[in-house]
Chain A
Amino acid sequence: MTQGKRIRILIAKPGLDGHDRGAKVVARALRNAGMEVIYVGLHQTPLQIVNAAIDEDVDAIGLSILSGAHKTIFTKVIALLKKRGVPKVLVFGGGTIPKKDWNGLKSMGVGEIFTPGSDTSKIINYLNRTLKRDKNV
């Protein structure tokens, strides 16, 4: 159990609204699936999120967004990751993101989007599948 690669995920809740129950549920589920979850909590700016992701050397960033500002937030996070030289970090999202925006977000580089109340096993499977493919170990 001690040796070998462990998947590390940063979970953040950007935006102004103070409600992170959904994000915490996902964080716990990922932990129970054997991942190391760095939980940074509420009111995170894209810069804070990306800096934390770099320090923590995470494989993926999960953003829980309920405030409707999803487009700007994802755009900024993905642009910052590129600028800081870590474009390979997977970005995925959850929350109230209208379906009509999904394609646009995905073509921008968002890996996957999950609706509120999605079965957490769907998220776990997605991460295991996607991140293993990128691992050379």
Chain B
Amino acid sequence: MSIPLHIRINENSYNLQVEEDETLISLLRDRLHLTGVKEGCGNGECGACAVIADGQPVRSCIILAAEMEGKSITTIEGLTETDENGNVSLSPIQKSFIEEGAVQCGFCTPGFIIAAEALFMRNSDPGDEAVKEALSGHLCRCTGYKSIFKAIDKTVKNRYKT
């Protein structure tokens, strides 16, 4: 049975019909082709599929699309800004990830960046503990995490300065 769903994704409104058992990741990736949302496990264990729903980080692989009625979703694709000339600017956290070498294979990266962004929405000056908490359950097999922590620290410091 399909269910009507009104949802905002990266600032665009959609009126969709979804299946009862359709996961949010499947809606985003398979139907809307937002493939920046990554599937590492499909089971809530790795964090690669994280998106922001009304300011909260959620794992799109273990949440049903139908539960998102009326919500506003941000995926990794929604973090950049494009001006009227088509110039793309990265968000501060995306920039820091590049500068600090926090990106290796990049498969976990959208999830980590989303987690950090969601944290900044709640807390503009998070301490080490809050950062650890926000990243818990996110797995990266490439970096050893140090550079990821550095990238987040740097973003916090830059924000604080400006």
Report if A and B associate in a common complex.
no
Q: Which B residues are within 8 Å of any A CB, using their own CB?
A: none
Q: Which A residues are within 8 Å of any B CB, using their own CB?
A: none
